[in-house]
């Protein structure tokens, strides 16, 4: 099935909601003019749809395989990765001094979306490499940066994140991998890491593992974890490759989805110790990893959006092709099923949630750019607070949404959706990892509640609520009744969010279990309300364009209709979520363990 | 993973909600005493958990295979089916005069639940055979009944339903398979049928296909469809097997789930015509098929419940075993993740929805028994109306719920849930067929709206609403505050349902597209509210038992807590659904086809 990048919607969100014009004025972002961005997106779209997308179903049918410690990726992946790197796509958001394009995150985000829509399994390799570059930029020495970043950007090498161990998943305090200083600036690492995405593959000449481990006298728990660079093949002082390091891929997982992406079990130090170098300071590994993870979590949220978009396109295509049942508008012979009201409802539900996810992600990306480049410190701080608040929402909401959208996509296909050859089932399987990896939705919710809501006394989320209230005022003076109707539902949603935030702030210290049990519901509520806010802003922008006569009228009317669908079919769930929290936060804690 | 039948909850629902005592007084149901029912359930539970459940994951790993027109089922299935039939389980609900046990549907339903919890793929063969028996009982001649039913009940033969063709899925008016009378009482059939569950296998000596086809001069559309019996091996007048019939299994599907269940493409009449005999009258095939389908649809709803129960048990087990993160109640070392509030919330969500599904299904089964056996015609009619109203709700709601519950089950497992060896992913894949086959949720919704709500002017659903209102009164005078709290949410849910029903009745004729677009949401709303009603009734019954000191106190308290969870975490969705319908019914119809 082909993939066609939704460039028109992307540009609308970039320009009208995320404010490219403002980002473009920031120091260092001057090259990202509207024209350049459009050209970059179109070139990326062409590459993703022509080169990467055709390998998606192939990778599902013929996953990466393991034999004798080596992983052979799906046929075509190696060549595609070479093209990807040569075209410079790995470097989109990375600094020009290391060979990157230095474009704002607002521009990199649609590129990441397209790559993931085209092929989630393939896109994971660049995604992890982005994380590695981020870690080096944050805490690497100049020498480490010079040694690794250019080769990671050029696609000569790739990067991995090594956190999980069999006994340490969501709880990183349980990490056991050991790193012993050798006195020569290097460490010897030993231990087992699992769930390592692209931990072994044949697409690049070297793999740079970023590994969390403990030094011998480190404090217990998360405060005793350090971050190490452990290359698969050792890198000499002159940058050339040396000996094979003592790290071995002992197996890859047999997974529900993203089958082409090899998920490795890595054994470090079985033959004397894997040689690694410390990044930054000892015992601060988790701090660096969190920077990497914030970037990776945002990117996984974009994966959710991307998967939803692809599943939507697939379902639309089937609904237009499949002839079955009469058109309720008339006619005597069977019509395409897109004429059936319930099929349209399913497609609208997929479309509305996907568009809301895109708005959430791009607006968050713009906040990142503003937080990094805005000349005024107060604005940088405000944008940083918004960005950090939104990362768990984008990750949690977009990925949970993608599971729902992919499931609806199968339903649109009826019985054919259950047959693997059709391809809709792959999205349903692939999507399921997204709310799990890079921190489950519960982990995102803990972050949203603890670090992002309670720690600043609700300042960042109250700022969002105030901005929503401003939009409500604008919605009241909209010309179109449909847009006013969006406002009614947005007001109710905002009130539900407000009530919930106050509940969480009031109870965080005194009733921690109630608040922990409410986190995921709060995250979903925040995603719905902030997503609904963005959809309402989109409707207002579409009205402006319609009145000015400058927009694509059909596109603008569709945007308003989609916003209205979101307002009346998704936003009303916010009241239900609020009740579950404010009245029912303790309802999960009533049964003794043995009653389950 | 082992399966342990939830006998205690089953008996509670059978006795306290579905009213076994009343069913037991019906003519023909006298044998179903409380003691007998408990003994039957325990025996069935033992058989399902010991013999059938261990084959579930095996069937996923080593699905049925096809070669040269023959299907070899997963190792162990053949022997298990023999044991199943010999123990008499195929005959639980069928008449003693044909070798069945003649037990009420209220007793057969938990047996079907257990078989499906144990192994969905295996259970499909008996499920389809039940449908075949139902069709013969409804429209077969005495000779047909004598020839086929005893052999179907004994497991010597099995049955199939042949509806779907490549161009005819949800829309049966498009069926092309032809049946030409031979003048000797037989017909020759030719055509292709797809998605035929157990259309070919090696577990029985013959397979009796029930096939929808058109005779040469039949009226167009669904009024020109007849139902035929087409045995795989022809049956002689004396009941012995004759020649192989002209029906061939040309392939089986490669599916997302239920992989052990062979889904056949059957080619009829490629070598001169498959010999079949008519059931009932020509052109009334769809009518008979609907009787069969009502039974099968109810059974598929029970499959949803069954799958949810098994996924819940699996998640609970993992949550108790997996050590990770501190117990928020204290302690310094990592604790089982069931101590984590969000894990508990997920388990409660799975548990509450599963219990609501069980209550819906069993109460509906009891109505079937009352509709068939009650001495008073008025009561029979009332119960029949309730049963018929509930069939699409049980099918639609329990199956959609099972997808949600299985997905949450994967989430409880974290990364391990995505690894196929764990087994949680199988439930997620298996569940996805349930809202599709035997009529998609949209088809159920059309049935609920058209035949079950509009046709009687809302009488049956208003009767339910009145009964809910009675329960609300009882909830107000409950002793426990938790139960009163259930009443508040039930009242809101009932009001949302009432408003929606009035909207549907008012618009069904004038605005058919609005109503068609609202059907699935109405179905979900009805499932939530009627499910919430049954959970509230369960809480009241538990309070009665607690006060009388006769119940298991821990069980009763858990039942009340679970009802409260449903009331505050699930029931509030009903208002959102009502808004989506009453305000947003037309929101799906605003985009032109080419805008999608």
Concatenated DSSP letters of A14-82: IIIIS-HHHHHTSTT-TT--HHHHHHHHHHHHHHIIIIITTHHHHHHHS--EEETTEEEPPTTHHHHHH
Quote the distance between the C-alpha of residue B43 and its chain's center: 22
Tell me the pLDDT tens digit for each residue of A128-157.
999 999 999 999 999 999 999 999 999 999
Please tell me chain B's helix, strand, coil percentages from 3-state DSSP, rounded to the nearest 5. Answer: 60, 15, 25
Alpha-helical segments (H) within B414-458: 424-431, 441-449
Quick one: DSSP state of residue A418? Answer: G
Tell me the pLDDT tens digit for each residue of B344-368.
999 999 999 999 999 999 999 999 9
- The CA R_g of chain B, rounded to the nearest whole Å, is 24
Residues from chain B contacting residue A409 (CB–CB below 8 Å): none
Tell me the pLDDT tens digit for each residue of B412-453.
999 999 999 999 999 999 999 999 999 999 999 999 999 999
Domain ranges across chain A = 7-153, 158-283, 441-589
Q: Is residue B580 exposed (0-12), middle (13-18) or buried (19+ Cβ within 10 Å)? A: buried
Task: Indicate if B220 belongs to the active site.
Answer: no
Among B254, B324, B591, select the one facing A419 at the smallest CB separation: B254
Mean pLDDT, 10 residues at a time, over chain A (596 residues)? 94 98 96 97 98 98 97 98 97 96 97 98 97 94 97 98 94 96 97 98 98 96 96 96 98 98 98 97 92 90 98 98 93 93 98 98 98 97 98 98 98 98 98 97 98 97 98 98 98 98 98 96 98 98 96 95 98 98 96 95
Give the residue on A whose Cα is nearest the Cα of B559.
A591
Cβ contact B323–A568 (<8 Å):
no
Distance, in Å, from the CA atom of B424 to the CA atom of B1, rounded to the nearest integer, reads: 10
> Which is nearest to A9 in space by CA: A50, A45, A55, A43?
A45
The stretch B140-146 carries a mean pLDDT of 97
Answer yes or no: are the C-beta atoms of B119 and B59 closer than 8 Å.
Answer: yes
Cβ contact A429–B432 (<8 Å):
no
0.95 surpassed by complex ipTM: yes
Residues 6+ apart with CB under 8 A from A76: A55, A58
Alpha-helical segments (H) within B374-458: 377-413, 424-431, 441-449
Q: Pick the catalytic residue from B134, B248, B282, B438.
A: B438
**B528 to chain A, closest Cα gap in Å:** 13
pLDDT at B283 over 90: yes
**A559 to chain B, closest Cα gap in Å:** 10
Concatenated DSSP letters of B503-533: HHHHHTTT-HHHHHHHHHHHHHHHHHHHHHH
Could you tell me the CA-to-CA distances from B44 to B32, B39, B82, B156 in Å, in that order? 15, 9, 15, 20
Cβ contact A588–B254 (<8 Å):
no
Give the residue on A whose Cα is nearest the Cα of B557.
A591
**B578 to chain A, closest Cα gap in Å:** 9
> For the stretch B128-162, what's the b/e string if a residue is b when 16 or more beta carbons lie within 10 angstroms of its beta carbon?
bbbbbbbbbbbbbeeebbebbbbbbbbbebbbbbb
> Which is nearest to B164 in space by CA: B222, B98, B117, B211?
B211
What is the pTM for the complete model shown? 0.98
Cβ contact A513–B329 (<8 Å):
yes
- At residue B1, the pLDDT reads 65
Quick one: DSSP state of residue B165? Answer: B
**B136 to chain A, closest Cα gap in Å:** 27
Give the residue on B whose Cα is nearest the Cα of A312.
B596
Three-state secondary structure call for residue A374: coil
> A158-283 is classed in which CATH architecture?
Beta Barrel (2.40)
Cβ contact B342–A445 (<8 Å):
yes
Indicate which of A222, A265, A330, A579 best probes the interface with B, i.e. most B CBs within 10 Å of its own CB: A579
Beta strand A157-162 pairing with A206-213: parallel
The stretch B569-575 carries a mean pLDDT of 98
Distance, in Å, from the CA atom of B347 to the CA atom of B339, rounded to the nearest integer, reads: 11
Angle between helices B481-507 and B553-569 (to 10 degrees): 40
Residues from chain A contacting residue B256 (CB–CB below 8 Å): 410, 418-420, 425, 428-429
Cβ contact A420–B576 (<8 Å):
no
Give the residue on A whose Cα is nearest the Cα of B482.
A587
> Which is nearest to A514 in space by CA: A527, A524, A500, A528?
A500
Give the CA dihedral A483, A484, A490, A492, nearest 10 degrees: -150
Distance, in Å, from the CA atom of B353 to the CA atom of B565, rounded to the nearest integer, reads: 10
- At residue B108, the pLDDT reads 98
Among B164, B573, B596, select the one facing A415 at the smallest CB separation: B164
- The CA R_g of chain A, rounded to the nearest whole Å, is 24
Indicate which of A420, A443, A491, A576 best probes the interface with B, i.e. most B CBs within 10 Å of its own CB: A576
Give the residue on B whose Cα is nearest the Cα of A439.
B414
Residues 6+ apart with CB under 8 A from A39: none
Helix then strand count (H, E) for chain A reads 18, 14
Give the residue on A whose Cα is nearest the Cα of B352.
A588
Distance, in Å, from the CA atom of B306 to the CA atom of B300, rounded to the nearest integer, reads: 9
Tell me the pLDDT tens digit for each residue of B296-331.
999 999 999 999 999 999 999 999 999 999 999 988
Answer yes or no: are the C-beta atoms of B483 and B560 closer than 8 Å.
Answer: yes
> B7-153 is classed in which CATH architecture?
Orthogonal Bundle (1.10)
Residues from chain A contacting residue B450 (CB–CB below 8 Å): none
Cβ contact B341–A417 (<8 Å):
no
Tell me the percentage of chain B whose pLDDT exceeds 90: 97
Residues from chain B contacting residue A520 (CB–CB below 8 Å): 342, 345
Cβ contact A418–B432 (<8 Å):
yes
Give the residue on A whose Cα is nearest the Cα of B493.
A576
Cβ contact A591–B256 (<8 Å):
no
Cβ contact A437–B415 (<8 Å):
yes
Report the run of H or E that residue B593 belongs to, with start and end.
Answer: none
- At residue B331, the pLDDT reads 86
Distance, in Å, from the CA atom of B368 to the CA atom of B140, rounded to the nearest integer, reads: 21
Instruction: Count CA within 13 A, CB hemisphere, residue B227.
Output: 26
Answer yes or no: are the C-beta atoms of B588 and B442 closer than 8 Å.
Answer: no
Distance, in Å, from the CA atom of B79 to the CA atom of B82, rounded to the nearest integer, reads: 5
Q: Quick count: other Cβ atoms within 10 Å of Cβ B576?
A: 21
Q: Given the structure tokens 């119809």, which residue do they identify? A: B589
- At residue A417, the pLDDT reads 98
Tell me the pLDDT tens digit for each residue of B34-58.
999 999 999 999 999 999 999 999 9
Tell me the pLDDT tens digit for each residue of B52-76.
999 999 999 999 999 999 999 999 9
Phi-psi group of A423: left, alpha or beta (phi > 0 → left; psi -120 to 50 → alpha; rest → beta)? left
Quick one: DSSP state of residue B73? Answer: P
Q: Given the structure tokens 């970039």, which residue do they identify? A: A14
Answer yes or no: are the C-beta atoms of A239 and A198 closer than 8 Å.
Answer: no
Cβ contact B573–A568 (<8 Å):
no
Q: Given the structure tokens 């709303």, which residue do they identify? A: B525
Residues from chain A contacting residue B592 (CB–CB below 8 Å): 554
Residues from chain B contacting residue A595 (CB–CB below 8 Å): 554, 558
Tell me the pLDDT tens digit for each residue of B532-562.
999 999 999 999 999 999 889 999 999 999 9
Sign of CA dihedral B82, B84, B86, B90: negative
Among B325, B435, B593, select the one facing A411 at the smallest CB separation: B435
- At residue B292, the pLDDT reads 82
Residues 6+ apart with CB under 8 A from A473: none
- What's the residue count for chain A? 596
> For the stretch A219-236, what's the b/e string if a residue is b when 16 or more beta carbons lie within 10 angstroms of its beta carbon?
eeebebbbbbbbbbebbe
Residues 6+ apart with CB under 8 A from A369: A23, A26, A29, A104, A105, A106
Q: Quick count: other Cβ atoms within 10 Å of Cβ A422?
A: 19
Indicate which of A168, A251, A341 best probes the interface with B, i.e. most B CBs within 10 Å of its own CB: A341
For residues B241 and A292, the model is more confident at B241
């Amino acid at each position: 099935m082909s993939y066609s990048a939704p460039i028109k919607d992307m540009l609308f969100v970039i320009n009208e909601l995320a404010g490219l014009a403002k980002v473009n004025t920031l120091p260092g972002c001057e090259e990202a003019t509207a024209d350049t961005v459009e050209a970059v997106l179109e070139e990326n779209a062409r590459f993703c749809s022509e080169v990467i997308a055709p390998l998606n179903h192939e990778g599902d049918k013929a996953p990466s395989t393991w034999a004798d410690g080596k992983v052979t990726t799906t046929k075509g992946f190696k060549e595609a990765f070479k093209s990807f790197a040569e075209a410079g796509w790995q470097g989109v958001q990375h600094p020009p001094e290391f060979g990157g394009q230095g474009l704002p995150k607002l521009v990199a985000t649609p590129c990441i979306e397209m790559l993931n829509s085209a092929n989630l399994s393939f896109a994971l390799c660049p995604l992890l490499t982005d994380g590695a570059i981020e870690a080096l930029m944050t805490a690497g020495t100049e020498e480490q940066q010079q040694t690794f970043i250019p080769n990671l950007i050029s696609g000569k090498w790739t990067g991995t994140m090594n956190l999980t161990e069999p006994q340490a998943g969501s709880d990183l305090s349980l990490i056991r991998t050991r790193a012993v200083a050798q006195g020569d600036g290097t460490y010897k690492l030993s231990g087992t890491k699992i769930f390592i995405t692209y931990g072994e593959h044949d697409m690049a000449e070297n793999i740079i593992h970023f590994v969390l481990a403990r030094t011998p006298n480190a404090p217990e728990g998360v405060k005793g974890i350090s971050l190490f660079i452990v290359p698969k093949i050792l890198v000499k002082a002159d940058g050339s490759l040396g000996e094979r390091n003592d790290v071995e891929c002992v197996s890859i997982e047999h997974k529900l989805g993203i089958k082409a992406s090899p998920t490795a079990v890595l054994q470090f130090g079985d033959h004397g110790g894997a040689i690694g170098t410390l990044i930054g300071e000892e015992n601060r590994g988790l701090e660096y990893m969190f920077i990497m993870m914030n970037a990776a979590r945002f990117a996984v949220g974009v994966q959710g959006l991307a998967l939803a978009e692809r599943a939507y396109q697939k379902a639309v295509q089937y609904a237009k092709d499949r002839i079955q049942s009469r058109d309720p508008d008339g006619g005597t012979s069977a019509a395409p099923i897109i004429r059936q009201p319930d099929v349209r409802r399913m497609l609208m539900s997929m479309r509305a949630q996907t568009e809301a996810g895109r708005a959430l992600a791009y607006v968050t990306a713009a906040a990142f750019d503003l937080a990094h480049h805005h000349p005024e410190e107060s604005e940088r701080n405000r944008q940083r607070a918004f960005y950090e608040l939104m990362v768990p929402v984008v990750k949690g909401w977009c990925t949970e949404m993608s599971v729902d959208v992919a499931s609806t996509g199968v339903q649109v296909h009826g019985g054919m959706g259950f047959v693997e050859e059709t391809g809709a089932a792959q999205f349903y399987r692939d999507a399921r990892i997204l709310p799990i990896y890079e921190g489950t939705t519960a982990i995102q919710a803990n972050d949203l509640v603890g670090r992002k809501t309670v720690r600043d006394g609700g300042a960042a989320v109250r700022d969002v609520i105030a901005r929503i209230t401003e939009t409500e005022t604008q919605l009241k003076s909209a010309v179109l009744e449909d847009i006013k109707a969006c406002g009614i539902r947005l007001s109710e949603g905002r009130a539900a969010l407000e009530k919930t935030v106050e509940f969480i702030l009031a109870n965080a210290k005194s009733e921690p279990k109630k608040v922990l049990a409410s986190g995921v519901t709060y995250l979903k509520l925040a995603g719905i309300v902030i997503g609904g806010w963005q959809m309402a802003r989109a409707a207002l922008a579409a009205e402006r364009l319609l009145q000015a006569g400058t927009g694509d009228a059909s596109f603008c009317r569709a945007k308003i209709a989609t916003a209205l669908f979101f307002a009346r079919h998704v936003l009303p769930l916010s009241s239900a979520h609020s009740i579950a929290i404010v009245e029912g936060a303790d309802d999960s804690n009533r049964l003794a363990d043995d009653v389950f």
